[in-house]
Amino acid sequence: MGTTSRSTAQNQAADLDAADSLRPHLDRFVTGGDVQAYLDGNSLGRPLRVTAERMRAFVDEAWGTRLIRGWDEGWFDLPLRLGDRIGAVTLGAAAGQTVVADSTTVLLYKLIRAALALRPGRTEIVVDRGNFPTDRYLAEGIAAETGATLRWIDPDHDAGVTVDLLAPVLGDQTALVLLSHVAYRSGHLLDAAAITDAAHAHGALVLLDVCHSAGALPIHLDKWGVDLAVGCTYKYLNGGPGSPAFAYVAHRHLADITQPIWGWMGAAASFEMGQGYVAAQGVRRLLSGTPPVVAMQPMIDMLDLIDEAGVDAIREKSTALTGFAIALVDERLTDHGVTVATPRDPDRRGGHVTIDHPESQHITARLWEQGIIPDFRRPSGIRLGLSPLSTSFTDVVTGVEAIVAELEKPA
């Protein structure tokens, strides 16, 4: 980029925005209030403007006038239909393998337990210390519950799990490898196909957490041979705070998979309400209680937008946004002691950039007061979440320059 002043960076951003084929989509999101730059779309995506219309129509019509008849008119199968849509648009998954159900935590619990049941006699779960806390905590809890042993991987601070790190902890006792496709802190992008091949060579299953990748970059679960996956819908799928998660089970496991939370919606004949649980056929067996029909509504429009824009185009812009952010940080923040904790190789990073500085927590708090919204990740990271469909290059400059201004303030 060369030596970059604020005005030069703003001009570059303006040129990049003008050339951005996805720029027209920016106006489809709700904006306003005091927000000057929203750089946390990888934690909570902005709502689409049409979502308000959809929710009003749902209250006035599907819920308000059809009432309980809605279950016979589409709600009962909505977790499966919406799951198929998520699979087709964002996961590279054929129909019948994806379902929308509970929270990410509950679905991870179900699938970790299910994986152990699919590998009887094996006692080890592989997990990395850089994984999201929920993934680690669940693995710890399930190990305490079942007597399984955890085999830990320790990736570098600014990287993630590789085949070389994985190989020493694989063996004939490995039941499951639990990893995130994109590391929540560093943004490292896993080589999912190579990891899956390595695990399968030892007879182990792979459970991929795709919370930080679904909707932001191409995923090919079927092609890669991944066994199981879980992802949330409130990040790049813009389903709103607390929107339900989805689970994927490869076709080859559906006939044999069992999960530990038996409920009426996962039963073979839900409305017969008979004595004794018999699991439904197919991916419906992952359901437990009544699905959150209202909370599924917002993501429907976002899936249409992702399909319209194309995941490849979204990934291209994501790579450009993160590359621009890293170059700008190098030029404007290195002299202030800021370092980049995200892989510089675009093929090895996801959709966010994390930078480290001892004052990151205080800086983030002050940025929020100005309407500039990144997030803080311990111990010293500011995470710039650049959601391609709702983030501009100008937003990136606004955010980085605000960090510069904070670091240049007199002590």
The CATH code of the domain that includes 377 is: 3.90.1150.10
Helical segments of 274-310, H only: 293-309
What is the C-alpha radius of gyration for the chain, rounded to an integer number of angstroms? 22
Compute the average pLDDT of residues 58-72: 98
Q: Mean pLDDT across the stretch 362-383?
A: 97
Residue 149 is predicted with a pLDDT of 98
Q: How many CB atoms lie within 10 A of CB 362?
A: 12
* pLDDT score recorded for residue 215: 98
Residue 1 reports pLDDT greater than 60: no
Amino acid 6: pLDDT:
74
Please tell me which residue in 128, 135, 158, 209 is annotated as part of the active site.
209
Q: What is the mean pLDDT of the chain?
A: 97
CATH number assigned to the domain comprising residue 282: 3.40.640.10
Torsion of CA 72, 77, 82, 85, to 10 degrees: -110
Q: Active site residue: 29, 38, 184, 234, which one? A: 234
Active site residue 235: yes
Residue 60 included in any domain: no
Mean pLDDT (whole number) for 305-329: 98
- 363: confidence class by pLDDT, cuts 50, 70, 90: very high
Judge whether 235 lies within some domain: yes
Listed residues 306, 329, 355: the one ending a domain: 306
Quote the tokens at residue 196.
């899956």
Q: Angle CA(225)–CA(247)–CA(381) in degrees, nearest 5? A: 90
* 7 pLDDT tier (thresholds 50, 70, 90): confident
Known catalytic residue: 76?
no
| 206 and 340 together in one domain | no
168 and 114 together in one domain: yes
Number of compact structural domains in the chain: 2
The dihedral of CA 23, 27, 28, 34: what is its sign?
positive
Say how far apart CA 162 and CA 126 lie, in whole Å: 13
- For the entire predicted model, the pTM comes to 0.97
Tell whether 67 is covered by a domain. Answer: no
Residue 181 shares a structural domain with residue 159: yes
Share of the chain above pLDDT 70, in %: 99
Given the structure tokens 């066994």, which residue do they identify?
Answer: 227
User: Is 317 assigned a catalytic role?
Assistant: no
330-334: average pLDDT: 97
Residue range of the domain that includes 92: 74-306
How far is the C-alpha of 162 from the C-alpha of 256, rounded, in Å? Answer: 30
As to burial, measured by CB atoms within 10 angstroms (0-12 exposed, 13-18 middle, 19+ buried), residue 209 is buried
pLDDT band at 3 (very low <50, low <70, confident <90, very high): low
Angle (nearest 5°) at CA 103 between 62 and 37 = 85
Catalytic residue among 185, 315, 317, 383: 383
Catalytic residue among 235, 284, 315, 332: 235
Q: 383 an active-site residue?
A: yes
Q: Which residues of 102-134 are buried (b: 16+ CB within 10 A; e: fewer)?
A: bbbebbbbbbbbbbbebbeebebbbbbebbbeb
Catalytic residue among 132, 136, 197, 366: 132
pLDDT on residue 2: 43
In a domain, 207, yes or no: yes
Helix (H/G/I), strand (E/B), else coil: 266: helix
Q: How confident is the model at residue 58 (pLDDT cuts 50, 70, 90)?
A: very high
> At residue 137, does pLDDT exceed 50?
yes
What are the DSSP calls for 10-21, one per residue? HHHHHHHHHH-T
Note the pLDDT tens digit of each residue in 149-199.
999 999 998 889 999 999 999 999 999 999 999 999 999 999 999 999 999
Peptide bond connecting 379 to the previous residue in cis, omega within 30 degrees of 0: yes
229 and 334 within one domain: no
Say if residue 185 is in the same domain as residue 215: yes
